[in-house]
Structure 1
Amino acid sequence: MNQPSVLARRSFLSAGLGALALGLTACAADETPAAAALDTPLTESVPQGTKLVVGDKEHQWAIEFSGEAKNLTFEVEFANLSGGPETLEAFRARALDLGSVADIPPIHSHWTNIPTKIVASKYRQDPLNHAIYRLGIAPGAGVSTLADIRGKKVAYSPGQAQGALVLRVLHKAGLRKEDVELIELPSTGDVYANALASRQVEVAPIGGVQIKRYESKYGKDGATTIAHGLRDDPGHLYAPITVLADPAKAAAIREYVKVWARAWRWREANPDEWIERYYVKKQGLSVEDGKWIVANAGIADIPASWTDAIARHQETIDLLAKETGNKPLKAEDLYDRRFETVAADALAGGAK
């Protein structure tokens, strides 16, 4: 039965989620039975009483504002999580069913014994001209090209997209980790921008409106940003394989992916409403900042085939395994291809 008010009943997980996760054992159970269950075809309908806990911090509002919430036939509880580490802690605590991240957390989850699978992917059309990140350069650091990073203090966040981007930038510049001083810092909020301004680090990947604000606030002191020239656009929904092995939850995730995809198109078709209702009213940004974010993001590419994306993901895995000493993984194993066409079909008006 359809439940138009399902998101009206949403609740948010407490800030104590991380503590709960840390209080549990870090050992993952034997996932072999769950992995075998992933060969089961997805069912068309979601059984009554099914519930998903979803960490999709920003996009949940697009689902609500667009009216797509009415298409969900199960209860959704949105968790107030940000970034890969918090999402992984929630998975470990079995307090989360589905998370929204970039391309590194799904890799890191396997290296930390919480096997997951990607169920939806989006990228950016013209990704080099609509990069998520630029390299923030501290005032007086003397960095204008990637080669100039040699010998500099570089912000680094293992297990997150920003950390992987740093390793990829070094590789592109022909540098090794030993050629720079990696400073481990969390990449949340304005931590990197503040670290740059205070010269705690000299180079750091910063994204979103932080780019605009950093240049505006500290440009007079000599702060700059430079393009890294690499693709940094993957965005995924992923879930533990133990969740995906549950036919009811897998069916609910399939339904959520459809709504997720259509809400992206709504955001692009209604930028003024999205800016006003989310960036201004929810995030406290100015209209100008909201317009900058929307323009910088460009248009989402939600492909019907993951083949090319998996090949790019493999290149990232190979580099990270080499640089971190972790075991190599097959990128193909990070994806649940039962979901491969679900999002694209929803956009094309295919299977409901």
Structure 2
Amino acid sequence: MTTPVHRLKRTARSRHTALAALAVLAVALSTLTACGSKGSGVTLELSAPLPDKVPGGTVIRIGDPTIQSIVQVSGLDKELADAGVRVQWANISGGPQSIQAFRGNKLDCSSVADIPSLFAAWTGTSTKIIFQSVTVDPLQHPIYELGVAPGVKVTSLADLRGKKIAYSAGQAQGALVLRVLQKAGLTQKDVDLVDLTSTGDSYVTALGSEAVDVAPLGAANVKVYEEKYSSGSAIPTGIRDDAATIYCLTSSVQDAAKAAALKTYVAVRTKALLWQNQHPDEYAKAYFEDNQGLSPADARAIVALDGTAGIPASWDNADQRLQQTADLLAEQQYHKKLEVSTLVDRRFEPVEAAAAGSDLVTGDAS
């Protein structure tokens, strides 16, 4: 059967954009080194219990900037050290950066939403999700809103018809755009998707320069955008977008020493999120002021928008949502069907639950 021309063009365009983004990111990753990694070299079967004891000298390379700030200000770094876990922190998060680092064996794990694990699989990089968290009342505290360019009239999802929308196929923002179109009863043919990787304030700039009419913006960038462009605006998507994970190279999870260290890291990370809930002002200062350079007022405002982080009692619902997303992307972006259970290492699920104790969220906060 002949492949439609529009399908060939869109697929080629997405691949070209992804390759260009990865080439640019290679420079940013040049400071990371593979030699910083130290495991045991002993293979751990993926079905085997996670080891408890961390061998001396084990190093795990983690891209998790927000949690890095929390661990250091809360004193939880001592718990890592006491367990013999050495973390080599990397200022990396998100899909494009982490996948590039994985391919160069310069990173073990990274904090991402749910999409990067899918694209890693589709592009030949084997990873496992070892941590999942949610937002309590996720629709009241969305991660993204739709930024609208100055002078463009978009007050509801139906108004997206015919608009130029920023779109990054391999990022959470791209999947969100497809889900928004689905909710609005629109297809890709009803809009103009503009390939643009979301890095820093790239979407803010694209909106301000009218390169696009609409772009998904995170909470911090919504504030930046509305302050920089007084006639700009943003509207809610009405879609749950709170997926938050840690994913790792499968080879790192299969290293017995690193697996033991990651078991400890998952427990400490759980405690860090709960600490964040209980200490919003300290969290705002440690990450948004000291790390991101925001003013105290802006830092507190963003933390208030973030909502409360939750540790789910079960990963069942998160995995179901991930499967639905994988199915949508497979259909809309012409990928192979993917069984997401192969991407999730549920041996870490009870580790997370035990660390949360009575603070577990039941019903997956939905």
Same fold per superposition (TM over 0.5): yes
2:90 to 48, 71, 79: 79
TM-score normalized by the length of structure 2: 0.84
Aligned match of 1:28: none
Task: Evaluate the alpha carbon distance shift between residue 124 and residue 17 of structure 1 in structure 2; reply closer, same or farther with a 3 A threshold.
Answer: same
Map 1:1-352 to 2 at 5 A.
16=27, 18=29, 37-72=45-80, 73-219=84-230, 221=231, 223-348=232-357
Give, in whole Å, the separation in 2 of the partners of 1:41 and 1:341.
12
1:212 to partner: Cα distance: 1.7
Check the 8 A contact 1:137/1:204 in 2, yes or no: yes
Give, in whole Å, the separation in 1 of the partners of 2:151 and 2:193.
19
1:268 to partner: Cα distance: 1.6
1:15 to partner: Cα distance: 7.2
Check the 8 A contact 1:193/1:214 in 2, yes or no: yes
Check the 8 A contact 1:304/1:345 in 2, yes or no: no
1:171 to partner: Cα distance: 0.9
Check the 8 A contact 1:119/1:237 in 2, yes or no: yes
Check the 8 A contact 1:17/1:90 in 2, yes or no: no
1:293 to partner: Cα distance: 1.1
Give a deviation string over 1:192-240, Cα, whole Å, max 9, x none. Answer: 0111111100000001211122223323x2x211110101001101111
Check the 8 A contact 1:138/1:196 in 2, yes or no: yes
Q: Which amino acid aligns with 1:46?
A: V
SS of match in other structure, 1:321: helix
SS of match in other structure, 1:340: helix
- Larger helix proportion of the pair: 2
CA RMSD of aligned residues (A): 2.0
Calculate percent identity across the aligned residue pairs.
48
Aligned residues: 323
1:349 to partner: Cα distance: 7.8
Q: Which amino acid aligns with 2:190?
A: D
Q: Which amino acid aligns with 1:322?
A: E
1:59 to partner: Cα distance: 1.4
SS of match in other structure, 1:348: helix
Give a deviation string over 1:272-328, Cα, whole Å, max 9, x none. Answer: 222223222222111111111111111111113101111111110000000011001
SS of match in other structure, 2:312: coil
Report the more deviating stretch, 140-149 or 128-137. Answer: 140-149
Give, in whole Å, the separation in 2 of the partners of 1:311 and 1:198.
39
